[in-house]
A and B are shown apart, each in its own frame.
Chain A
């Protein structure tokens, strides 16, 4: 059997009395898209934050490449190659689109203490940034300030920044949200190929996207995984229909 890249065991996190993550087991294998679905407030984003190190787990283990990373902070985990995109776009507002991606490229090179050479003339960074922007179709918007980008463009910029990090795994929190029909279907095609570069843990509300893309689906309800399987198994799973899909159809 193929070793998973990421493996969570018995992960638990509480905010006071609220258990947002309740004994979650989950893994991500090379080349796959593992979708995490669940109703609003189920704890999906919290789980990504736990993996990325933005939140600290109360108990349980997180193994990455066979190594326990629970003790590492967010910065160290990002450096190992766990790259997340944000549910609500988190960008540098005064920078241009290209400036944001260049920052990601710079971070990948772990290069901070340059004081003389101008980033705008840095072929390496601009090249990597433009390449990532081209891949998501934002190349012609490269020079536009983030605060002047549309909502959909900001979502794509999130993806471009993640690409520029050349991660080992992608943690994507609702990348389709607010993209619209056409944007979503283009992104679906893109992610479909992206899994070959690095596996994706994908949180998504868009069920069409999930059923098209996911190799496996885990269903999170109130912090617990209640079902896991391939698209067909999840579609017909009675508990899932009751807890989650039922809501959609109602």
Chain B
């Protein structure tokens, strides 16, 4: 069967649409739509993170909200300390807050990566349904910890009032902040694209398809999966950092299992293991939320119907529908 278009071309078109939409909205003086697109972009990045574990590695994590939330809290906590001029700690050395996104992102990525290392090291000893349940359990643990920890707002969450700073960018302007998020998303997608065809990506995809074979060749599936899980957690953590700057607010709901499920929905809607799958999925999600959400609070019914349609009739998601089956060398 000839595909309508190659996946590569489709991806370029999608990237241009995601860029062009908000630009048009900006010049049509619709800042709300720019913000909506920013939300989709950030959620897409969270999905891109999960897609590395789930799509490439077959690791069905139902706890990625943990990394999203940890990235978010890293930003929230550091930014709030910066605003109150109170250091995070004074002993054995002083650690101050920060309002520099580059610093905050780095911390967010390190914190979520470290968490993914610990959670992954334990969870990856299991597989299948047990893996799903254990990742969920870890995320729920962190969720309840965030709720019960009063220092940073507990259940009510934590506001940061002012968006953090990025050199040379006025992050307070919706379009500027969108372009920043868009740039991050594109850079991560570029890196993932390279990784997928490089030795690590190849080994990871082999592990997904036939773990025993990879072990028989003398490569450790466990280490490959763990590395993928850490990279995956870092990317979703970075998305969490951006999300907090978008909303100027972080709360435990960023770590709820609903969010883990939503991130997974992006991937399924858009196409599992497809580079732009989560991008399409997150955009559809935000679109549904906005369009159907404007006349019914039960908009998720329509999302559910779309999801059912994909699972029953278009297993490759949107990308699979348009660009056909994935190609491998």
Q: Which residues of A contact B (CB under 8 A)?
A: 52, 54, 74-79, 84, 86, 90-96, 98-99, 102-104, 106-108, 110-120, 122, 143, 145, 161, 165
Which residues of B in the span 211-226 have a Cβ within 8 Å of any Cβ on A?
A: 212-220, 223-224
Q: Check B227 for interface membership: any CB of A closer than 8 A.
A: yes
**Cα–Cα distance between A92 and B58 once the two chains are bound (Å):** 14
Give which listed residue, B215, B224, B326, contacts A74 with CB less than 8 A.
B215
**Cα–Cα distance between A114 and B224 once the two chains are bound (Å):** 11
Q: Check B209 for interface membership: any CB of A closer than 8 A.
A: yes
A92-B206, A95-B329, A118-B194 known; A107 and B219 CB under 8 Å? yes
Q: Are A75 and B202 in contact (CB under 8 A)?
A: no
Q: Are B200 and A93 in contact (CB under 8 A)?
A: no
Q: Are A90 and B213 in contact (CB under 8 A)?
A: yes
Q: Check B199 for interface membership: any CB of A closer than 8 A.
A: yes
Q: Are A112 and B200 in contact (CB under 8 A)?
A: yes
Q: Are A90 and B217 in contact (CB under 8 A)?
A: no
**Cα–Cα distance between A107 and B199 once the two chains are bound (Å):** 10
Q: Check B197 for interface membership: any CB of A closer than 8 A.
A: yes
Q: Check B203 for interface membership: any CB of A closer than 8 A.
A: yes
Instruction: Looking at the assembled complex, report how far the CB atom of A69 sits from the nearest CB atom of chain B, in whole angstroms.
Output: 13
Q: Are A92 and B209 in contact (CB under 8 A)?
A: yes
A94-B209, A118-B198 known; A106 and B329 CB under 8 Å? no
* Interface pairs (29), CB distance under 8 Å: A75-B218, A78-B215, A78-B216, A78-B218, A84-B216, A86-B216, A90-B210, A91-B213, A92-B213, A96-B329, A103-B217, A106-B203, A107-B214, A107-B217, A107-B218, A110-B218, A112-B227, A113-B199, A114-B199, A115-B191, A115-B199, A115-B200, A116-B195, A118-B197, A119-B202, A120-B197, A120-B329, A122-B199, A161-B217
Q: Are B199 and A119 in contact (CB under 8 A)?
A: yes
Instruction: Looking at the assembled complex, report how far the CB atom of B29 sits from the nearest CB atom of chain A, in whole angstroms.
Output: 42
Q: Are A78 and B217 in contact (CB under 8 A)?
A: yes
Q: DSSP majority for the B interface?
A: helix
Q: Check B2 for interface membership: any CB of A closer than 8 A.
A: no
15 additional A-B residue pairs with CB within 8 Å, beyond A115-B191, A116-B198:
A54-B212, A54-B216, A74-B216, A75-B220, A95-B329, A96-B328, A103-B202, A107-B219, A112-B200, A112-B203, A112-B224, A115-B195, A115-B199, A119-B199, A122-B199
Q: Are B219 and A75 in contact (CB under 8 A)?
A: yes
Instruction: Looking at the assembled complex, report how far the CB atom of A101 sits from the nearest CB atom of chain B, in whole angstroms.
Output: 11
| Chain B residues positioned under 8 Å from A143 (CB to CB) | 329
Instruction: Looking at the assembled complex, report how far the CB atom of A100 sits from the nearest CB atom of chain B, in whole angstroms.
Output: 8
**Cα–Cα distance between A78 and B217 once the two chains are bound (Å):** 6
Which residues of B in the span 168-227 have a Cβ within 8 Å of any Cβ on A?
A: 191, 194-195, 197-203, 205-206, 209-210, 212-220, 223-224, 227
**Cα–Cα distance between A74 and B221 once the two chains are bound (Å):** 11
User: How many residues on the B side are at the interface (Cβ–Cβ under 8 A)?
Assistant: 29
**Cα–Cα distance between A113 and B223 once the two chains are bound (Å):** 10
Task: Please indicate which of the listed interface residues A84, A107, A110 has the most CB atoms of chain B within 10 Å of its own CB.
Answer: A107
Q: Which residues of B contact A (CB under 8 A)?
A: 191, 194-195, 197-203, 205-206, 209-210, 212-220, 223-224, 227, 326, 328-329
Work out how many contacts link A and B, with CB atoms closer than 8 A.
Answer: 106
| Chain B residues positioned under 8 Å from A79 (CB to CB) | 218
Q: Are B212 and A119 in contact (CB under 8 A)?
A: no
**Cα–Cα distance between A166 and B263 once the two chains are bound (Å):** 43
| Chain A residues positioned under 8 Å from B216 (CB to CB) | 52, 54, 74, 78, 84, 86, 90
**Cα–Cα distance between A108 and B212 once the two chains are bound (Å):** 16
**Cα–Cα distance between A74 and B220 once the two chains are bound (Å):** 9
A52-B216, A92-B213, A96-B329 known; A103 and B198 CB under 8 Å? no
Q: Are B203 and A93 in contact (CB under 8 A)?
A: no
| Chain B residues positioned under 8 Å from A119 (CB to CB) | 197-199, 202, 329
**Cα–Cα distance between A76 and B200 once the two chains are bound (Å):** 19
| Chain B residues positioned under 8 Å from A108 (CB to CB) | 218
Residue on B nearest A80 in the bound complex, by CB: B218
**Cα–Cα distance between A115 and B201 once the two chains are bound (Å):** 7
Q: Are A93 and B209 in contact (CB under 8 A)?
A: yes
Residue on B nearest A111 in the bound complex, by CB: B199
Q: Are B219 and A112 in contact (CB under 8 A)?
A: yes
Q: Are A99 and B202 in contact (CB under 8 A)?
A: yes
Give which listed residue, B197, B212, B217, contacts A104 with CB less than 8 A.
B217
Q: Are B206 and A95 in contact (CB under 8 A)?
A: yes
**Cα–Cα distance between A74 and B213 once the two chains are bound (Å):** 11
Instruction: Looking at the assembled complex, report how far the CB atom of A103 sits from the nearest CB atom of chain B, in whole angstroms.
Output: 5
| Chain B residues positioned under 8 Å from A111 (CB to CB) | 199
Instruction: Looking at the assembled complex, report how far the CB atom of A149 sits from the nearest CB atom of chain B, in whole angstroms.
Output: 14
| Chain B residues positioned under 8 Å from A91 (CB to CB) | 210, 213
**Cα–Cα distance between A39 and B213 once the two chains are bound (Å):** 26
Instruction: Looking at the assembled complex, report how far the CB atom of B8 sits from the nearest CB atom of chain A, in whole angstroms.
Output: 14
| Chain B residues positioned under 8 Å from A122 (CB to CB) | 199
Residue on B nearest A90 in the bound complex, by CB: B213
Instruction: Looking at the assembled complex, report how far the CB atom of B329 sits from the nearest CB atom of chain A, in whole angstroms.
Output: 5
**Cα–Cα distance between A114 and B326 once the two chains are bound (Å):** 22
Q: Are A115 and B329 in contact (CB under 8 A)?
A: no
Q: Are B217 and A165 in contact (CB under 8 A)?
A: yes
Instruction: Looking at the assembled complex, report how far the CB atom of B135 sits from the nearest CB atom of chain A, in whole angstroms.
Output: 23
Residue on A nearest B326 in the bound complex, by CB: A94
